[in-house]
Amino acid sequence: MNKNIFLVLIAGSLAIAAGALFWSMQEKPVATGPALPTFDYVNGDSWAERPELPPPAVWETGWDIDVVLLAGEAALEISGTQAIEKRRVEAAGKLNDLAGAFEKTGTVYAPYLRAASLEEDTAAALSHYLSTDNRGRAFVIATDRPLPAAVLPLFEADPLLRDRFGGVLLFGENNAGAGLSEGLAPGVTCSRRYKADEGCIAPVELRRSGNGFAASGGERLVNGLIPWLNEHTSKLAEPLGELEEIEIIEIRRPGETD
């Protein structure tokens, strides 16, 4: 009798172990949740940081610097347990803290990005900034990721853009030895201010300061940028307003009127 009970216990233990092994080998379900919104960078709510009033254009007060903050660490991810709005609030908090580290460098623009569409959103946000917000101003990009190749056409389409591009301030874990991206050679994106062998990327160290961050490094890109622009580059002229259609009136000689 005792022997039978012992065999039953052994068989039960083996069945439990086999079941546990089978369960552990199953693919874990992919976390799903509400779809993230597609950001339209024309709208202000697609930006965590953006000035309420546009800073003066280059043709109004001369050269000044903007900082476009592209932070992959603050990108929104899909989560089945967290509401979209809560994720946006958390991303806004991270971007606000990071923006504080670059406020001394210039006016900060920080778009929301989606982790699953990081390259696409990076290119779209940068494209909108250049076409609408930049207005001929000098700018640098602060990022924790190499710039994607998707931004290459932006620089290729406008030779003057490269001159006022100060370079990349690279922060975070990727700030040592990282390049712009595969296919984004310094000769394509960097200003002629820089020698071919030095490039236009500088590592930046962020350290906690109160509730935010303070940045150190990157002075090579920022210091002397405006004096160089004043000496070597022409400012963009103010764009013409919209064309107004003028009706052409027929000219008649005396006696030809009805």
CATH code of 111's domain: 3.40.50
pLDDT above 90 (res 159): no
What b/e string do you get for 48-63 counting C-beta neighbours within 10 Å, with b at 16 or more? bbbeeeeeebbeeeeb
Whether 52 maps to a domain, the answer reads: no
**56/156: higher pLDDT:** 56
Q: How far is residue 43 from each of residues 48, 73, 95, 142, 171, measured CA to CA in Å? A: 11, 22, 17, 22, 27
Range of 125's domain?
A: 61-232
Q: Is residue 76 part of a domain?
A: yes
Percent of the chain with pLDDT over 90: 48
Is the model's pLDDT at 211 over the cut of 90?
A: no
Mean pLDDT of the 83-96 span: 88
Tell whether 33 is covered by a domain: no
Strand partners, 201: 168
Instruction: Determine the average pLDDT of the residues in 193-205.
Output: 86
- Does position 63 have pLDDT exceeding 90, yes or no? yes
Residue 193 has pLDDT above 80, yes or no: yes
| Number of independent structural domains in the chain | 1
**pLDDT mean over 96-122:** 95
Region of poorest pLDDT, from 106-110, 137-141, 192-196, 231-235: 192-196
Over residues 250-257, the mean pLDDT reads 64
Across residues 21-38, what is the average pLDDT?
52
Q: Is residue 221 part of a domain?
A: yes
Burial class (CB in 10 A: 0-12, 13-18, 19+), 88: middle
What is residue 229's predicted lDDT score, i.e. its pLDDT? 96
Q: Is residue 258 part of a domain?
A: no
d(CA 210, CA 213): 7
Residue 125 resides in a domain: yes
- Is 60 exceeded by the pLDDT of residue 238? yes
Residue 185 three-state SS = coil
Q: Whole-number mean pLDDT of the chain?
A: 81
What mean pLDDT is predicted for residues 13-19? 54
**Does residue 114 lie within any of the structural domains?**
yes
22 in any annotated domain: no
Provide the pLDDT for residue 29.
Answer: 42
What pLDDT is stored for residue 80 in this prediction?
61
pLDDT-based confidence at residue 196 (cuts at 50, 70, 90): confident
pLDDT-based confidence at residue 32 (cuts at 50, 70, 90):
very low
Specify the pLDDT at position 140: 96
Residue 30 has pLDDT above 70, yes or no: no
Is the pLDDT reported for residue 58 higher than 60?
yes
pLDDT tops 90 at residue 106: yes
